[in-house]
Amino acid sequence: MKIFLFSFFFLSSQSLLAEYDFDGIYRSQFLLPFKDFYREKCPKDLPITIELEIKKNKIKGEIYNTSLCDGYQDASITGEIDIYGNFIKTKFKHSSINGRREDAYKIEGNLSGELILKSKAKFLYRNQKFSLTKYKSEKNNETTLFKGKEDQKDLELKELKQKQLKDQKDLELKELKQKQLKDQKDLELKELKQKQLKDQKDLELKELKQKQLKDQKDLELKELKQKQLKNLRNKQETLKKSTNLMFN
């Protein structure tokens, strides 16, 4: 009788230990083919993360996608597994109306093996195979549960800030180059105007000198002609006087 009771309690305790042997936190990341061709910001494959906490065979967790395609496959998950790790019940509480109508509604399979994520809208999603990795036991968990999503948001925020900083630097560099180009063009235009002004002045000076030279020559020619005419008249007067003397 004592041996029987000992065996009964031993087997019962082993059963309880086996029942809660799956306790811990699990994660899976995979690409889910997505056939929404009407949303430009949505990728062809949604990067999906599933995080679950198993505690006394009860499931608590979430599913989310880390792309800019908001509202798709974003839900909290509750459910239950049996003592062998088989999913016997899952419930998805989606954050959007479309999610409740189209997105994941069930996980099938074994926690330690291959799982299948099923979605309602077959024209958008196919049944997706995936597996979970136990990355931290519940007993030793000293961090906040499902911190992955927060980390992802922090990473996206960091990347967004880096992109904004890069865009700002690119903009400043572009504006600097545009300013330098404008300054260069302004300088070239200024130098061109100065050259044109100099050339204009040089031309005017040349023309002035040419005019002055011409005027000088014209004046000298006029004076020469006047002098020649005067000499001619003087000669004619002298000749006339000589002729009158001869006849007298």
Query: Where do the structural domains in the chain lie, given as residue ranges?
Result: 10-141
| Long-range CB contacts (within 8 A, 24+) of 119-126 | 119/73, 123/35, 124/34, 124/35, 124/36, 125/32, 125/33, 125/34, 125/35, 126/33
- The reported pLDDT for the residue numbered 245 is 77
What fold, for 10-141? Porin (2.40.160)
Question: Which tokens is 73 given?
Answer: 């496959």
- The reported pLDDT for the residue numbered 192 is 93
Task: Report which residue type is found at 109.
Answer: G
Q: What is the pLDDT of residues 108-137, one digit of tens each?
A: 999 989 999 999 999 899 999 999 998 765
| Long-range CB contacts (within 8 A, 24+) of 125-132 | 125/32, 125/33, 125/34, 125/35, 126/33, 128/30, 128/32, 128/33, 128/48, 130/28, 130/30, 130/50, 131/28, 132/26, 132/27, 132/28, 132/50, 132/52
Question: Which tokens is 172 given?
Answer: 């400043």
- The reported pLDDT for the residue numbered 1 is 53
- The reported pLDDT for the residue numbered 157 is 63
For residues 103 and 73, the answer to whether their CB atoms sit within 8 Å is: yes
Q: Per residue of the chain (248 residues), what is the pLDDT tens digit?
A: 544 444 444 444 444 444 558 999 999 999 999 886 556 678 888 999 999 999 999 999 999 998 877 788 999 999 999 999 999 999 999 988 988 999 999 999 999 899 999 999 998 999 999 999 987 654 444 444 445 555 666 666 676 677 777 888 888 889 999 999 999 999 999 999 999 999 999 999 999 999 999 999 999 999 999 999 888 888 888 888 888 777 76
- The reported pLDDT for the residue numbered 81 is 96
> Residue 59: how many CB atoms within 10 A of its CB?
22
User: What span, in angstroms and rounded, lies between the C-alpha atoms of 78 and 218?
Assistant: 115
Q: What is the pLDDT of residues 186-213, one digit of tens each?
A: 999 999 999 999 999 999 999 999 999 9
- The reported pLDDT for the residue numbered 106 is 95
For residues 119 and 105, the answer to whether their CB atoms sit within 8 Å is: yes
